[in-house]
Amino acid sequence: MNLRLLRLTPILGAVLSHAALLPAAIIGTNIPAKPLTVERIGSLPPARQPAWRKYLDRSSRQMQTDQAYLASELRQHKFRKAITPPQGNDVRSIPLNRPAEWYGQADGLRIADIILSFQTPAGGWSKNLDMSAHRRAPGEHFAPGNASRHVSQGDFDEPLNENWHYVGTFDNDATITQLRYLAKVIVALKSSAVQPYRKAFLHGLDYIFAAQYPNGGWPQVWPLEGGYHDAITFNDDAMINVLRLLRDVAEGKGDFAFVPAKVCKLADASVRRGIECILAAQIVVEVEKTDGGRAGRALELGRIGPSGRVERRTVWCQQHDSLTLEPASARNYEMPSLASAESAQIAMFLMELPNPDRETAAAIRAAAAWFDKTKIHDVAFGFTAGEGRRLVSAPGNGPLWSRYCEIGSDRPIFGDRDKTIHDTVDEISQERRNGYGWYRDTPQRALERYAAWEKEHPKIRM
């Protein structure tokens, strides 16, 4: 595995480039993520370029196919523009906790038919759709607007095409939830009527396989739509949800016993590449002098570099650049950083692996050490009279973790809609303080799981 070293200075140079010139309350300005482009692929070593060019071409052709499908419907039915579909929480409208037989009955099949109707030609689904309302009609869009209410000129969240946004995505549990639901329907039916659902399910898996980057990661949106959506996305557990589904498919049991063996093998290979991507993306920083020490300890931290300094593994960012795996920004207030909640989900996924190798075990232990180091006690993040949400003293409460920590120093950092980065949550706008989860407790569950995992997996001696 090729661990990437991130020293503090380059990160500050990229994200906090004007810190010395700004007021004390502002420590930097967020910068946009880089999309995947032909020009960027051209900067790769020649041997790596063909796979990426093929990927980008596949994405472009699929985007054209998807858009042509809708355009054809509009022409056929003489519509001037697409009908806006019902907006809602698609995940909540797709129940995954009903009795097994329910999925083969009228109510269960009604939702399944709606799911089938909104599957994009590529094989995925959009987000924020009410999947309980009605089947998609000819000329109806595959996605609602999905635009932020706060977008301004130059906003990282401004879509390149306002009429084609999140059309096929893993964000907000989309696509993965639909596939899990269809699997339950397929198991419940056990008749010739199952064929449309089986076909849609397998098409959805093909969508996932096609969307996977050559390095094993997944973008937030596919076909690619540019901006931060092209980044490898751990935010909201997007990539981890994909990997958990593929892992279940690869096992070929329970709801997925119907999946053909060759597809199970493809899923298993896809999971392996995804895990390799996770391990390669783990952020490593240079932290201290060392006289060498034991090699086992060095691997646990990361490695001992050529300078004799320890290069310590930490955790992950919410997004990583598709080509370089460097930490990347997303929305204006989501900066390259160490992300506590998403990293906890990644660590818990890795701890679910039945036979972790040395590299995986080292990644898990390093993440657990970082969670333990950065936890905060005796505070709460809640509403205060007249001032919105604040971090306040709360003896006995915790532990909590800042959602984002600065790479290298581990200090909590916070972003705002104007792209400014702060080291105190009280300094950001009240709208962002009230509307975003700046403190999380997810790492506590990871640490609890780690306590058991460590007993189950004695440390590997080098």
- 111 in a structural domain: yes
**Considering 246, 277, 308, which residue would you say is the last residue of a domain?**
277
User: Do 189 and 318 belong to one domain?
Assistant: no
**Considering 277, 304, 330, which residue would you say is the last residue of a domain?**
277
User: Do 183 and 205 belong to one domain?
Assistant: yes
Reply yes or no on whether the pLDDT at 53 is more than 70.
yes
User: Do 263 and 327 belong to one domain?
Assistant: no
Q: Which of 441, 454, 419 is nearest to 330 (CA)?
A: 419
Report, as an integer, the average pLDDT of 411-421.
Answer: 96
Find all residues with CB under 8 Å of 117, minimum gap 6, and list them: 135, 136
Instruction: Using pLDDT thresholds of 50, 70 and 90, give the confidence band for residue 311.
Output: confident
User: Do 323 and 449 belong to one domain?
Assistant: yes
**Candidates 136, 312, 313, 331; catalytic one:** 331
User: Do 16 and 75 belong to one domain?
Assistant: no
Higher per-residue confidence, 149 vs 390: 390
Query: What confidence score (pLDDT) does residue 350 get?
Result: 98
Single-letter code of the amino acid located at 177? T
Structure tokens at 452: 């058991």
Query: What confidence score (pLDDT) does residue 309 get?
Result: 67
Judge contact between 401 and 375, C-beta under 8 A. Answer: yes
How do residues 182-224 score in pLDDT, each as one tens digit?
Answer: 999 999 997 889 999 999 999 999 999 999 999 999 999 999 9
Instruction: Using pLDDT thresholds of 50, 70 and 90, give the confidence band for residue 299.
Output: very low
- CA distances, 65 to each of 59, 214, 218 (Å): 10, 22, 21
Report, as an integer, the average pLDDT of 431-448.
Answer: 96
- 38 in a structural domain: no
Judge contact between 30 and 329, C-beta under 8 A. Answer: yes
User: Do 12 and 61 belong to one domain?
Assistant: no
User: Do 383 and 250 belong to one domain?
Assistant: no
pTM of the shown model: 0.91
**Considering 259, 277, 295, which residue would you say is the last residue of a domain?**
277
**Candidates 30, 128, 146, 172; catalytic one:** 172
Reply yes or no on whether the pLDDT at 95 is more than 50.
yes
- 462 in a structural domain: no
Report the C-alpha gap between 37 and 30 in whole angstroms: 21
- 87 in a structural domain: yes
Reply yes or no on whether the pLDDT at 339 is more than 50.
yes
Average of per-residue pLDDT values in the chain? 90
User: Do 15 and 79 belong to one domain?
Assistant: no
Calculate ∠ Cα 155-175-264, nearest 5°.
Answer: 135
Report the C-alpha gap between 97 and 255 in whole angstroms: 13
Report, as an integer, the average pLDDT of 230-258.
Answer: 97
Report the C-alpha gap between 289 and 3 in whole angstroms: 19
How do residues 19-51 score in pLDDT, each as one tens digit?
Answer: 444 444 689 999 999 999 999 999 999 999 999
Query: What confidence score (pLDDT) does residue 24 get?
Result: 46
Ranking 266-270, 369-373, 425-429 by mean pLDDT, the lowest is 425-429
Question: Which of 98-107, 151-160, 186-195 has the largest mean confidence?
Answer: 98-107
User: Do 291 and 244 belong to one domain?
Assistant: no
User: Do 226 and 298 belong to one domain?
Assistant: no
Reply yes or no on whether the pLDDT at 307 is more than 70.
no
User: What is the phi-psi region of residue 404: left when phi exceeds 0, alpha when psi lies from -120 to 50, beta otherwise?
Assistant: beta
Q: Exposure pattern of 307-343 as b/e (b: 16+ CB <10 Å)?
A: eeebbbbbbbbbbbbbbebbbbbbbbbbbbbbbbbbb
Find all residues with CB under 8 Å of 213, minimum gap 6, and list them: 55, 219, 232, 277, 322
Range of the domain at 386: 8-31+282-455
Report, as an integer, the average pLDDT of 143-159.
Answer: 82
DSSP string, 192-238: GGGHHHHHHHHHHHHHHHHHS-TTS--BSBSS--SGGGGSEE-GGGH
- Return the CATH number at 325: 1.50.10.20
Reply yes or no on whether the pLDDT at 305 is more than 90.
no
SS3 content of the chain, % helix, strand, coil (to 5): 45, 15, 45
- 160 in a structural domain: no
The rounded Cα 423 to chain-centroid distance in angstroms is: 25
Reply yes or no on whether the pLDDT at 93 is more than 60.
yes
- 191 in a structural domain: yes
User: Do 14 and 136 belong to one domain?
Assistant: no
Neighbours of 263 (CB within 10 A): 18
- 155 in a structural domain: no
User: What is the phi-psi region of residue 172: left when phi exceeds 0, alpha when psi lies from -120 to 50, beta otherwise?
Assistant: left
Instruction: Using pLDDT thresholds of 50, 70 and 90, give the confidence band for residue 103.
Output: very high
Reply yes or no on whether the pLDDT at 325 is more than 70.
yes
Single-letter code of the amino acid located at 318? Q
How do residues 250-264 score in pLDDT, each as one tens digit?
Answer: 999 999 999 999 999
User: Do 16 and 115 belong to one domain?
Assistant: no
- 246 in a structural domain: yes
Please confirm, yes or no, whether 312 is among the known catalytic residues.
no
Please confirm, yes or no, whether 128 is among the known catalytic residues.
no
Q: How many domains does the chain have?
A: 2
Report, as an integer, the average pLDDT of 219-244.
Answer: 97
Instruction: Using pLDDT thresholds of 50, 70 and 90, give the confidence band for residue 304.
Output: low
